[in-house]
Amino acid sequence: MVRRQRWSRFFMARLSNALPFQVSVHGELPRQPMLWISNHVSWTDIPLLGMLTPLSFLSKAEVRTWPVAGWLAAKAGSLFIRRGAGDSQLIRKQMTRHLQEQHPLLLFPEGTTTDGRGLRTFHGRLLASAIDADVCLQPVAIRYLRDGQIDTLAPFIGDDDLLSHLMRLFANDRGQVEIHLLKPIACQGQERAALAFQAQQAVQKALFGDRTLPAEPRRNGELVAA
């Protein structure tokens, strides 16, 4: 698994370098395997976060069919979940085992992409795996900017398809991406709902400070969390 994650990280870094973004990373990478949780704006979140460290992802089943990003996610040992399949307990056990074997895992607890102007509720159901495995949460905030403002080109939402999205990105100047690795959250003795709330508050503050902007979330094929 470690070899697969490292191999996938290499190719995610190559893909990230090819994307029209200038990326800055703030904060420290965790030294221990953790359950990473991040807000979700676009399919490009996958390579941009996956290039930072060897990671597996929790993905909705459809992601496996995505060109490039889905292939890389599969090669990284990602876990795939079907919406409404009633297999959450199985996924929880798989996630717990994955974390207990010292393999970091990332999920998007909003369960869908947004336009980057706000957050959807962080669902805590699958955070129970971090409690079971006795690992910390690593909250991550990813923000896309263009000319100092929230990037309206980067979100992968609504009826977007991969080709149209790429053409839109490459038809414009490079955007900026900020990745904030926030303070880890200890899970021992906590309830999953409380963990989800703490993580959402941390990401909210990192992205927007004390202000809240209206989100315009629309469901599309993206990594899923809960």
Q: What is the pLDDT of residue 222?
A: 41
Q: pTM for this structure?
A: 0.85
Please tell me what DSSP assigns to residue 210. Answer: T
- Is beta strand 175-181 parallel, antiparallel or unpaired with respect to 137-146? antiparallel
Give me the percent of the chain exceeding a pLDDT of 70: 78
Place of tokens 């992205």: 207
Q: Which of 172, 77, 81 is nearest to 123 (CA)?
A: 81
Other CB atoms closer than 10 Å to residue 211's CB: what's the count? Answer: 8
The gap between the terminal CA atoms of the chain, to the nearest Å, is 24
What band does 1 get if pLDDT is binned at 50, 70 and 90?
low
DSSP 66-84: STTHHHHHHHTT-EEE-TT
What amino acid occupies position 118? G
pLDDT in tens, 61-107: 666 666 666 666 666 666 766 665 557 788 888 899 989 999 999 99
Q: Where are the alpha helices (DSSP H) in 78-154?
A: 88-100, 128-133
Give me the percent of the chain exceeding a pLDDT of 90: 59
What amino acid occupies position 208? F
Beta bridge mates, 177? 23, 144
- Asked if 114 and 120 touch (Cβ cutoff 8 Å), the reply is yes
For residues 224 and 221, what is the distance between their CA atoms, to the nearest angstrom? 9
pLDDT in tens, 106-141: 999 998 899 999 999 999 988 999 999 999 999 999
- Asked if 37 and 109 touch (Cβ cutoff 8 Å), the reply is yes
Looking at the predicted structure, is the pLDDT value of residue 216 above 50?
no
Other CB atoms closer than 10 Å to residue 36's CB: what's the count? Answer: 25
Q: Which of 47, 100, 101, 95 is nearest to 75 (CA)?
A: 47
For residues 217 and 168, what is the distance between their CA atoms, to the nearest angstrom? 19
